[in-house]
Structure 1
Amino acid sequence: MKIGIDAMGGDFAPKAIVEGIVLAAQELPAGVTIVLIGQTAVIQQIIDNQNFKGSNIEIVEANETIEMGEHPVRALQSKPNSSIGVGFKLLKTGVIDVFASAGNTGAMMVGSLFSIKTIEGIQRPPIAGFAPQIDGSLAVILDIGANADVKPEMLAQFGILGSIYAKATMGIESPRVALMNIGEEPEKGSVVVQQAYKLLQEERKINFVGNIEGKDFFKAKADVIVTDGFTGNILLKMGESLYGILSERGVKDDFIDQTNYEAVGGSPIIGVNGNVVIAHGSSSALATKNMVHLCHRIVESKLTEKIKKAFA
């Protein structure tokens, strides 16, 4: 297995990214190699400073970097040798099994849609996030930002995709799928959400348990939470803010610790012809290490193959 990582993407790249890779490399099982993509000399210097003696890190040269504020499409077109551009080439040709970056989110999304493309039958791939639950588990929430405007059919597909993800990577045999709404009753919410409820209820591939409200977000009532990208993004970032606020006040709590973005390290794009993970722009070494472990679980679970089979 080869895990491709953009070494140059992120607010604290390449130092924090490479330091996190060194931490992860010492924890991965035999047969797993991390492929760092970026400026070789810079990356190698950071690795040397960490006194890393292992053999499971490789470097692929990419002498350009797409900055956070650049226009995604123009940047990918004008910088074919960027770390993100090279990463998608390696993923498309099968040199790496997964590609992850803490860099320009738009470029990662555009690269996914136009390089490896969407799996046939899927309308719009969502980005999946993870919400900690009071029982110690994680719920998959999708979408968290890729699709601010959705159709009922898209929300129904998010339910299927989330269910496949939870079963494949989290070992949940029959994941509970819930629809985020302003009330538990089927007739509540917008026209889009009401129609989505009906579609999810009729979908035999999933275990749909109905609507949940914002107050249920952390209460372990579902394994998969379905919503549009606008709402999902707000919910997830509100959860992340809890960690920052309470940490500043000196509050230490196991549940609150899990709302820290570093705990999982990344968010997969689900429904494209390859494994792609987007990390937080402010990723630290710890977040990067956990991102690598997330990538490892996704590849090992054969997630993309299972999604293709389900939508064939």
Structure 2
Amino acid sequence: MKIAVDVMGGDFAPKAVIEGILLALPSLSNNEIILAVGPRDTIQSILDEHHYSGTQIQIIHADQVIEMGEHPTRALSQKPNSSIGIGFGLLKEGKADVFASAGNTGAMMVGSLFSVKTIEGIQRPAIAGFVPQTDGKYAVMLDIGANADCKPEMLEQFAILGSVYFEATTGIKSPRVGLINIGEEEQKGSILAQATHALLKANSKINFIGNIEGKDFFKGKADVIVTDGFTGNIMLKMGESIYNIMKDQGMTNDFVENTNYEKYGGSPIIGINGNVIIAHGASSPVAIKNMIGLCKSVVESKVCEKIKGIIENK
């Protein structure tokens, strides 16, 4: 397995990214290689500081960087030798099994759409987020930001994508799908929510349990939480805020620890012809280590191939 990592992505890159890669190495087998994408001299210098002389990290030179605030489409076209651009090239050419970055989210999304492209039949890929539950498990929520405006048919596909992903990565059959709404009754909510509810209720490919409210978000009621990217992004970031609030007040427990974004490492883009992971911009070395663990999980689960099989047999 070859895991391509954008060394220049994130607020604390490249140092935090390389240190995260080094933290991840003990959990990798000998045939699992990290392709560190970025300026060769910079990467080598940091590896030398840590006295690394192994062969499991291979440097892929990229002499340009897409900054966090740059326009995604323009930056990708104007900086073909950026670490993100080169990373997607490796993925498209089959030289990497997965590509991950804590860099510009928009550029990662645009790169996915124009490089490996969307699986045929998928209207729009989604970014999946992990939501800790009070029973110690987690739910998958999508979308969490890629699609602020959605049609009912898109949300129906998110339910299918999330179900396939959850089952492939956890082994749990027939995951429960819940639709975020302002009430449990099916006639509640916006026009979008009501129309989506009707589609999900009629879809035999998913285990739809109905609407779930904000009070159910962490309560273990659903394995797959479906919503538009606007709502999903707000809810996910609200959930992430719990960790820092509780930490500042000196309170912690297992649930609070599970709200720490570092534990999950990143979020997969689901519905594209390849494996792409987007990590938090403020990723620490620990978060990068866990991002690489998520990369392994996504590749080993063959979720991309399974989604293709479901969509093609629709």
TM-score for both structures, normalised by structure 2: 0.98
For 2:220 and 2:281, locate their aligned partners in 1 and report how far apart those are by CA, in whole Å: 28
Please show how residues 1-312 of structure 1 align to structure 2 within 5 Å. Answer: 1-312=1-312
Paired AA for residue 103 in structure 2: G
Paired AA for residue 66 in structure 2: I
For 2:178 and 2:169, locate their aligned partners in 1 and report how far apart those are by CA, in whole Å: 19
Paired AA for residue 157 in structure 1: Q
For 1:235 and 1:256, locate their aligned partners in 2 and report how far apart those are by CA, in whole Å: 16
Deviations 1:287-312 (A, max 9, x none): 00000000000000111111111111
Instruction: Single out whichever of 174-183 and 50-59 deviates more from structure 2.
Output: 50-59
For 2:251 and 2:77, locate their aligned partners in 1 and report how far apart those are by CA, in whole Å: 47
For 2:273 and 2:209, locate their aligned partners in 1 and report how far apart those are by CA, in whole Å: 29
Deviations 1:24-60 (A, max 9, x none): 0121123211111001111111122222343211110
> In the TM superposition, what is the alpha-carbon distance from 1:170 to its structure 2 partner?
1.4
For 1:154 and 1:205, locate their aligned partners in 2 and report how far apart those are by CA, in whole Å: 15
Instruction: Single out whichever of 282-291 and 167-176 deviates more from structure 2.
Output: 167-176
Q: Structure 1 residues 26, 53: closer, same or farther in 2, change over 3 A? A: farther
> In the TM superposition, what is the alpha-carbon distance from 1:254 to its structure 2 partner?
1.1
For 2:65 and 2:242, locate their aligned partners in 1 and report how far apart those are by CA, in whole Å: 33
> In the TM superposition, what is the alpha-carbon distance from 1:123 to its structure 2 partner?
0.4
For 2:59 and 2:30, locate their aligned partners in 1 and report how far apart those are by CA, in whole Å: 18
For 1:53 and 1:133, locate their aligned partners in 2 and report how far apart those are by CA, in whole Å: 41
For 1:67 and 1:308, locate their aligned partners in 2 and report how far apart those are by CA, in whole Å: 33
For 1:164 and 1:134, locate their aligned partners in 2 and report how far apart those are by CA, in whole Å: 23
Partner of 1:311: helix, strand, or coil? Answer: helix
Paired AA for residue 300 in structure 1: E
For 2:274 and 2:293, locate their aligned partners in 1 and report how far apart those are by CA, in whole Å: 17
Segments of 5+ residues of structure 1 without an aligned counterpart are: none
Deviations 1:246-288 (A, max 9, x none): 1111112111111111010100100001000100000000000
For 1:53 and 1:253, locate their aligned partners in 2 and report how far apart those are by CA, in whole Å: 39
* Aligned-pair identity (%): 65
Instruction: Single out whichever of 42-51 and 218-227 deviates more from structure 2.
Output: 42-51
For 2:243 and 2:61, locate their aligned partners in 1 and report how far apart those are by CA, in whole Å: 37
Partner of 2:67: helix, strand, or coil? Answer: coil
Paired AA for residue 17 in structure 1: V
Partner of 2:135: helix, strand, or coil? Answer: coil
For 1:246 and 1:142, locate their aligned partners in 2 and report how far apart those are by CA, in whole Å: 26
Segments of 5+ residues of structure 2 without an aligned counterpart are: none
For 1:28 and 1:170, locate their aligned partners in 2 and report how far apart those are by CA, in whole Å: 20
Q: CA RMSD in A?
A: 0.8
Deviations 1:118-149 (A, max 9, x none): 00000010100000001110100000000011
For 1:45 and 1:51, locate their aligned partners in 2 and report how far apart those are by CA, in whole Å: 10
Partner of 2:58: helix, strand, or coil? Answer: strand
Count the aligned residue pairs.
312
Paired AA for residue 266 in structure 1: G
